[in-house]
Amino acid sequence: MTPPLAEIYLVEPWWMQIVKGLVFFLIVFNFVPITLMAERKILGRFQGRYGPNRVGPGGWFQAIADIGKLLGKQQFSPRYAQRFLYVLAPCLSVIAAAGTVAIIPFGPVVDIFGVQTGLYGIDVSVGILYVFALGAISFYGLMLGGWASSNKYSFLGAMRSAAQLISYEAAQGMALVGVVITAQSLSLTEIVEGQKGMWYFIPQFFGMIIFIIAGFAESNRAPFALPEGEAEIIGGYGTEYGGGRFANYYMAEYLEVVVISFLTITLFFGGWQLPFGIDPPHWVDPFVVIFKALFMIFFFIWIRATLPALRYDQLMSFGWKILLPLATLNTLVTAILVVTL
Amino acid sequence: MSQFFFFLTAIIAVAGAIGVVTLRNPFYSVLSLVCHLFALAGLFLLLQAEFVAFAQVVVYAGAVMVLYVFVVGYVGGDDETVHPWDGPAQKGIAFVFAGMLFLELCLAILGSGLKALDTRGAGFVPGFGSPGDIGELLLTKFLFAFEAASVLLLVAAVGAVVLARRRGGIHDEEQRLSFTEFMRPIGTGTTAEGVGTRDAGINLPAPAAPAAPRSDRETLPTGGERP
């Protein structure tokens, strides 16, 4: 019997699955403090100041110091909070963000010490649907956090974030249908293989734009950072959170930025492939993916430094009245082109 | 291994279902239903139906239950528990329905389910349950049902928008355009008529604003509620 979530091509021995699971998780996980630090440094440059430069060489240990401080704080919870859900909610957020790491492909199937190994966590036939299933979990992470805090501001913030999340998930899903039609597969490795001649950001240009915008909204990032409207709803769903639980939410947000960067380069920028027909040996592939992802993360930070935040009603009407119809149109045109050409 | 996961997910599913009807706090009831749906998705996964499993999570847990969570979150506070109405009529009806359902399930299980106990299920064909397989079935064998369902969904979506507009749920003045406005008899009382910016059908002096267009959209005050 093939295991559930059966792979399309092969099943590795169990020890290899554990090893590669650990390795990929640790690689992507370590992007979180790097992103955090890089963001503060780069934002500093954008704003004509230094950014953190006290802890460690060049200030690069600041993130570790911050995390240490947060974990050392008292695990406070409000008196009227729904205790169980209050504790559970940040964990759900992290689970949802970390689960997506499993399907990011770092390379094709390669030979490691005589074992055929796919350089990805799992290669599911449902591919992208897996991402959206985890998006559902991340919704509960936000929503339960806001509701369980028993605080009006938390609850309103959670409603905002959750509404934003599901609105832009619709547009994101429609934008990806174009990619799926072009690649004729949902599996992420096959989508990367399908980009051999031309990366999909050329035929699926609008799909890419919509996907990236929706990605900003999903990770609650800067132009869509409504949940943290300090003047209106304090800190959004995280108002009552502090210490380690706040660190969890924070980590989930940055992990989501990292994961969306990886997904973007996988879906639109050729994954592990290099342009101009350069075909390096397979051990280079993961480095290509990581390098591209770093560019994407920089782009995220760049946008945050550049664009002002939207108003909430603008945000919603932009998602539903502009992005979603555009994405639908993109799907339609792609389908017609694929069938006729 | 698969037996272990079967019993794990089955127990969670049953526990979740029981939680939905026994928990007093509606919010926890909804969450219990979410648990149940996730466990069902796990059962589908064990049956190698990957697409159905993930569609289950995306559609039910990610869309339908999200709506429930919103509604219960807004309407039901944590101190407002569900109070069942204990009238004798309701109890009687409940027993009748429960009995009918029990009978039906007994018939179904005795009639077909027990036969399968000692047999092996249909063999697993590679590709079964994959999106490609299901898509092909939907567009060939079940094309009519598929299209009918999509038309139904479209009608429902359009209907939702129309209903939301009619109740004034959408405050965008520019978009307030529906035939129901023109069917309302003149002079049945809006604020605009009350303050004289709209001709109520009686001979009013001309409004102060010169050449105000005789259209609702233009003359209603911002965010004005229609009766």
pLDDT score of A104 more than 80: yes
Q: Which of A74-88, A144-158, B6-20 has the highest mean pLDDT?
A: B6-20
pLDDT score of B225 more than 50: no
pLDDT score of B150 more than 80: yes
Could A166 and B5 be called an inter-chain contact, meaning their C-beta atoms sit closer than 8 Å?
A: no
| Closest CA–CA distance from residue A136 to any residue of chain B (Å) | 4
* Nearest C-alpha in A relative to B44: A4
Chain B residues with CB under 8 Å of a chain A CB are 1-2, 5, 27, 31, 34, 41, 45-46, 48, 50-51, 54-55, 57-58, 61-63, 66, 69-70, 73-74, 78, 124, 130-132
For residue A47, being part of any structural domain is answered with yes
pLDDT score of B212 more than 90: no
For B73, the closest of A1, A147, A150 (CB atoms) is A147
**Which whole number is the average pLDDT over A43-71?**
87
Could B62 and A132 be called an inter-chain contact, meaning their C-beta atoms sit closer than 8 Å?
A: yes
* Nearest C-alpha in B relative to A149: B78
H or E element that contains A112: strand A109-112
Could A4 and B48 be called an inter-chain contact, meaning their C-beta atoms sit closer than 8 Å?
A: yes
Give the single-character DSSP code of A120. S
- pLDDT > 90: percent of chain A: 11
| Closest CA–CA distance from residue B56 to any residue of chain A (Å) | 9
pLDDT score of B180 more than 60: no
Nearest to A303 by CA among A214, A222, A218: A222
Give the single-character DSSP code of A117. E
Q: Do residues A90 and A252 touch, judged by C-beta distance below 8 A?
A: yes
**B57-78 burial code (b ≥16 CB/10 A, e <16):** bbebbbbebbebbbebbeebee
For residue A5, being part of any structural domain is answered with no
For residue B3, the chain A residues in CB contact (below 8 A) are none
Could B31 and A144 be called an inter-chain contact, meaning their C-beta atoms sit closer than 8 Å?
A: yes
Count contacts between A and B (CB, < 8 Å): 76
pLDDT score of A306 more than 90: no
Q: Which of A133-142, A279-288, B204-213 has the highest mean pLDDT?
A: A133-142
Range(s) of the domain holding residue B29? 1-80
More confident residue, B122 or A259: A259
Which of A299-303, B48-52, B221-225 has the lowest average pLDDT? Answer: B221-225
**Which whole number is the average pLDDT over B86-108?**
86
A2 confidence band (pLDDT: 50, 70, 90)? very low
Q: Do residues A35 and A299 touch, judged by C-beta distance below 8 A?
A: no
Mean pLDDT score across all residues of chain A: 84
Q: Do residues A115 and A289 touch, judged by C-beta distance below 8 A?
A: no
Mean pLDDT score across all residues of chain B: 75
pLDDT score of B226 more than 50: no
For residue A71, being part of any structural domain is answered with yes
Q: Which of A1-10, A112-121, A209-218, A314-323 has the highest mean pLDDT?
A: A209-218
Range(s) of the domain holding residue A255? 14-340
**B142-174 burial code (b ≥16 CB/10 A, e <16):** eeeeeeeeeeeeeeeeeeeeeeebeeeeeeeee
pLDDT score of B197 more than 80: no
Q: Which of A212-226, A227-241, B7-21 has the highest mean pLDDT?
A: B7-21
For residue B35, the chain A residues in CB contact (below 8 A) are none
For residue A1, being part of any structural domain is answered with no
For residue A136, the chain B residues in CB contact (below 8 A) are 57-58, 61-63, 66
For residue A137, the chain B residues in CB contact (below 8 A) are 61
Could B34 and A125 be called an inter-chain contact, meaning their C-beta atoms sit closer than 8 Å?
A: no
For residue B86, being part of any structural domain is answered with no
pLDDT score of B145 more than 90: yes
Residue A19: per-residue pLDDT: 86
CATH code of the domain covering residue B15: 1.20.120.1200
For B66, the closest of A85, A139, A150 (CB atoms) is A139
A333 confidence band (pLDDT: 50, 70, 90)? very high
pLDDT score of B31 more than 80: yes
- pLDDT > 90: percent of chain B: 22
Alpha helices, DSSP H only, in chain A? 14-46, 62-72, 83-99, 128-148, 152-183, 188-193, 205-218, 230-233, 243-268, 285-306, 312-317, 324-340
Nearest to A55 by CA among A40, A72, A74, A73: A40
Residue A232: per-residue pLDDT: 64
For residue B78, the chain A residues in CB contact (below 8 A) are 82, 150
Residue B89: per-residue pLDDT: 80
d(CA A31, CA A48): 25
Q: Can you give the C-alpha Rg of chain B in angstroms?
A: 27
More confident residue, B129 or A210: A210
For A147, the closest of B27, B34, B58 (CB atoms) is B27
d(CA A254, CA A249): 9
pLDDT score of B168 more than 70: no
A82 confidence band (pLDDT: 50, 70, 90)? confident
Q: How many other C-beta atoms are found inside a 10 Å radius of the C-beta of residue A29?
A: 14
More confident residue, A195 or B14: B14
For B58, the closest of A82, A85, A132 (CB atoms) is A132
Residue B15: per-residue pLDDT: 94
| pLDDT tens column, A182-224 | 888 888 888 888 888 788 888 888 899 999 998 888 887 777 7
For residue B31, being part of any structural domain is answered with yes
pLDDT score of B100 more than 90: yes
Q: Report the domain count for chain B.
A: 1
| pLDDT tens column, B70-89 | 888 877 655 555 566 667 78
A123 confidence band (pLDDT: 50, 70, 90)? confident
For A4, the closest of B46, B58, B63 (CB atoms) is B46
For residue B132, the chain A residues in CB contact (below 8 A) are 125
More confident residue, A114 or A326: A326
Q: Report the domain count for chain A.
A: 1
More confident residue, B218 or A106: A106
- pLDDT > 70: percent of chain A: 94
| Closest CA–CA distance from residue A313 to any residue of chain B (Å) | 11
Residue B218: per-residue pLDDT: 46
For residue A162, the chain B residues in CB contact (below 8 A) are 66, 69-70
Give the single-character DSSP code of A167. H
Which of A9-13, A96-100, A106-110, B33-37 has the lowest average pLDDT? Answer: A9-13
Residue B99: per-residue pLDDT: 94
**Which whole number is the average pLDDT over B181-198?**
55
For A135, the closest of B46, B51, B62 (CB atoms) is B62
Residue A203: per-residue pLDDT: 86
B96 confidence band (pLDDT: 50, 70, 90)? very high
Query: The pTM is what?
Result: 0.80
Could B62 and A130 be called an inter-chain contact, meaning their C-beta atoms sit closer than 8 Å?
A: no
Residue B86: per-residue pLDDT: 65
**Which whole number is the average pLDDT over A42-61?**
87
For residue B73, the chain A residues in CB contact (below 8 A) are 143, 147, 155, 159
Nearest to A253 by CA among A224, A219, A218: A219
For residue A8, being part of any structural domain is answered with no
**Which whole number is the average pLDDT over B102-108?**
89
| pLDDT tens column, B38-73 | 999 989 888 878 888 888 898 888 888 888 888 888
CA dihedral A250, A251, A253, A255 (to 10 degrees): 170
| Closest CA–CA distance from residue B46 to any residue of chain A (Å) | 6
